[in-house]
């Protein structure tokens, strides 16, 4: 027992020392606040599906002779359109706590993914989805202001550290008001349009979506990210997602131009051509 206690004590001391070293390495603004400035990216499967899921053939499925098979419209995507498995990012595991009606709509959305997912049409991704899209984003921070630019669709948002009051209108990226709890940046996001999804699996929300994000630097190159999602119209209770965000370490790391509106012009407006191209 004494030997086990010594080993446990040594492990705890090492973990504490490691956390202290990591805290000392956190970049800080002149006022002592953590400095989140940099290029960041999530590495997980949350954009495919927030919930735990096994790998599946396609983003959109249909009934087959024996088991479900890829829908005809996604069949030629092959492995590129397949969905990798994941343990999910919902704190405590389990599924999004949808009402029965909202759960049914989520399933319908998944069955019609290619026609309904706003990401396909290059609509702005909203919050929190912008964080875990498989593209980098940049945080620019001063002592008074925080600004985030996302590579996908050129999405941007200001985080107002001096609360200007409630949003006057709903928008794709919402209205972000920041505050500090110690070294944690807390962002209260309201005024979100109901036109966005939470992932590619049809996870939807209403215009009453309310998101509270928490950004905590765990070291110089690692942010612990949490987002608590509340929506009384479609959820039976709030739920929280949690994931690490990693700093892009390349010497020339930057967000590139991906203003994808022009990339989907043929998809959305191609039939309006005088001589439409084959579909």
Identify the structural domains of the chain with CATH numbers, from first to last: 2-52+87-272 (2.40.128.20)
DSSP per-residue string spanning 115-127 = HH-TTTTT----T
What mean pLDDT value characterizes the chain? 92
Structure tokens at 141: 């921070």
Higher-confidence residue: 56 or 143?
56
CA distance between the termini of the chain: 72
Angstrom distance (rounded) from CA 249 to CA 256: 15
Contact indicator for 88, 53 with CB cutoff of 8 Å: yes
Read off the pTM.
0.89
Task: Place 21 in a pLDDT band, splitting at 50, 70 and 90.
Answer: very low
For strand 38-41 and strand 239-247, is the pairing parallel, antiparallel, or unpaired?
A: antiparallel
Rounded Cα distance, 186 and 177, in Å:
8
pLDDT of residue 144: 87
pLDDT-based confidence at residue 18 (cuts at 50, 70, 90):
very low
Above 50 in pLDDT, residue 15? no
- C-alpha distance from residue 175 to each of 125, 126, 230, 276 (Å): 14, 10, 15, 40
């Amino acid at each position: 027992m004494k030997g086990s206690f010594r080993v446990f004590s040594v492990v705890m001391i090492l973990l504490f020392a490691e956390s202290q070293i990591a805290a000392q390495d956190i970049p800080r603004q002149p006022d002592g606040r953590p400095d989140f400035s940099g290029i960041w990216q999530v590495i997980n499967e949350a954009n495919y599906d927030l919930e735990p899921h096994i790998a599946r053939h396609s983003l959109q499925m249909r009934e087959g002779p024996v088991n479900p098979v890829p829908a005809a419209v996604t069949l030629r995507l092959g492995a590129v359109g397949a969905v990798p498995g994941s343990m999910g990012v919902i704190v405590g595991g389990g599924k999004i706590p949808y009402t029965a009606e909202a759960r049914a709509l989520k399933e319908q959305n998944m069955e019609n993914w290619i026609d309904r997912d706003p990401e396909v049409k290059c609509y702005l991704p909203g919050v929190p989805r912008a964080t875990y899209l498989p593209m980098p984003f940049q945080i620019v921070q001063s002592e008074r202001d925080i600004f985030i630019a996302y590579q996908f669709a050129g999405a941007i948002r200001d985080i107002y550290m001096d609360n200007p009051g409630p949003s006057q209108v709903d928008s794709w990226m919402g209205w972000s008001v920041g505050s500090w709890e110690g070294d944690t940046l807390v962002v209260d996001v309201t005024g979100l349009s109901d036109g966005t999804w939470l992932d590619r699996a049809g996870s939807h929300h209403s215009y009453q979506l309310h998101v509270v994000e928490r950004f905590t630097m765990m070291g110089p190159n690692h942010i612990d990210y949490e987002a608590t999602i509340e929506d009384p119209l479609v959820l039976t209770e709030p739920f929280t997602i949690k994931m690490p965000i990693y700093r892009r370490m390349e010497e020339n790391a930057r967000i590139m131009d991906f203003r994808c509106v022009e990339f989907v012009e043929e998809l959305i407006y191609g039939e309006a051509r005088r001589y439409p191209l084959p579909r």
